């Protein structure tokens, strides 16, 4: 019999203009069947009143306000440091546009108790409030230089936790030992790929990453307009991630792939210039500039 009262789990939500979605996220956290959960809201200078709403309606939550939007990884680190300073045993990072099932934290804790190698875990995450799977594991391809979500429907029927290459930051559950032995998020990743980077570093230290199928969460997809804004960070941080983590023996393929992608983007810019192609071009430019600055 596992005594969960010995554990001190923290839930950290990084908020940036989360609006009413933040309210839904917090309602799901306070509905968790483990009632001694500490909640920390890290606000990245929101201007939509979501922080004030949180303070009015969820006064038990700790709130820490940044003076500017410092990105997901850096803001999450503020919350992780706070949690560790207050003796957290486990930390759940939950997106403000996500909700978590009432029994999910129990399943996540149980999985880590039953398999001590698991350092980072995730529920199966569904799209919106549907039964369509959004995340059932992460796959990293060093041949195509892509980190993708598995969305296998069959995963819902699996009974036991199973290993995966990386865990998404949408609902990332980790025990304190991961952060103490591996370190926190790499803050150079303003948005995206910081979760894959942490997962790989944890695996290199001997921790495993696992999906716990009995645990469920739901993620509201952002609008097409919001997706457009994030393309820049996906491209820029994808380039940084694969530059760092690509095995030495296939590193030449990375640089050839990079050249081909830049040529393709240049052709697209010439033939059908649009906002997406401009963002991708800017990401390539900034990636090259940062590499030059390192050399000088």
Q: Could you tell me the residue ranges of all domains in the chain? A: 4-219, 224-295
CATH hierarchy code of domain 4-219 = 3.90.550.10
Q: Rounded to an integer, what distance in angstroms lies between the CA atom of residue 92 and that of residue 170?
A: 10
Pairing mode, strands 90-94 and 171-175 = antiparallel
pLDDT at residue 294, rounded to an integer: 66
Here the tokens at position 96 are: 């403000």
Question: How many Å apart are CA 201 and CA 72, to the nearest integer?
Answer: 18
Mean pLDDT by 10 residues, the chain (296 residues): 79 94 95 92 94 93 96 97 97 97 96 96 92 94 90 85 97 98 96 96 97 96 64 93 93 90 90 89 90 64
pLDDT at residue 296, as a whole number = 46
Instruction: Write down the pTM of the prediction.
Output: 0.92
C-beta of residue 84 within 8 angstroms of C-beta of residue 2 = no
Long-range contacts of 287-290 (CB under 8 A, 24+ apart): 287/236, 287/239, 287/240, 290/240
**What is the predicted pLDDT for the residue at 271?**
87
- Nearest-angstrom CA–CA distance, 296 and 280: 25
């Amino acid at each position: 019999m596992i005594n969960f009262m010995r554990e001190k789990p923290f839930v950290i939500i990084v908020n940036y203009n989360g609006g009413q979605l933040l309210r839904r996220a917090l309602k799901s956290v306070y509905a968790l069947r483990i009632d001694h959960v500490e909640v920390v809201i890290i606000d990245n200078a929101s201007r939509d009143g979501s922080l004030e709403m949180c303070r009015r309606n969820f006064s038990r939550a700790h709130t820490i306000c940044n003076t500017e939007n410092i990105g997901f990884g850096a803001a999450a680190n503020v919350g992780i440091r706070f949690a560790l300073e207050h003796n957290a045993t486990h930390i759940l990072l939950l997106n403000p546009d996500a909700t978590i099932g009432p029994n999910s934290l129990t399943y996540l804790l149980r999985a880590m108790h039953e398999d001590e190698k698991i350092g980072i875990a995730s529920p199966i995450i569904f799209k919106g409030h549907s039964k369509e799977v959004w995340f059932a594991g992460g796959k990293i391809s060093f041949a195509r230089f892509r980190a993708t979500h598995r969305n296998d429907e069959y995963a819902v029927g699996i009974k036991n936790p199973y290993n995966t290459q990386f865990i998404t930051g949408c609902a990332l559950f980790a025990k304190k030992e991961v952060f103490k032995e591996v370190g926190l998020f790499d803050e150079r990743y303003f948005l995206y790929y910081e979760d894959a980077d942490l997962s790989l570093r944890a695996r290199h230290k001997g921790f495993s990453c696992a999906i716990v199928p009995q645990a469920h969460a739901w993620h509201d997809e952002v609008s097409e307009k919001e997706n457009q804004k994030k393309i820049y960070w996906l491209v820029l941080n994808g380039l940084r991630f694969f530059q760092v983590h690509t095995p030495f023996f296939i590193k030449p393929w990375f640089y050839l792939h990079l050249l081909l992608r830049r040529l393709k983007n240049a052709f697209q810019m010439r033939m059908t210039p649009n906002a997406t192609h401009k963002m991708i071009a800017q990401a390539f430019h900034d990636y090259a500039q940062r590499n030059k600055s390192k050399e000088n």
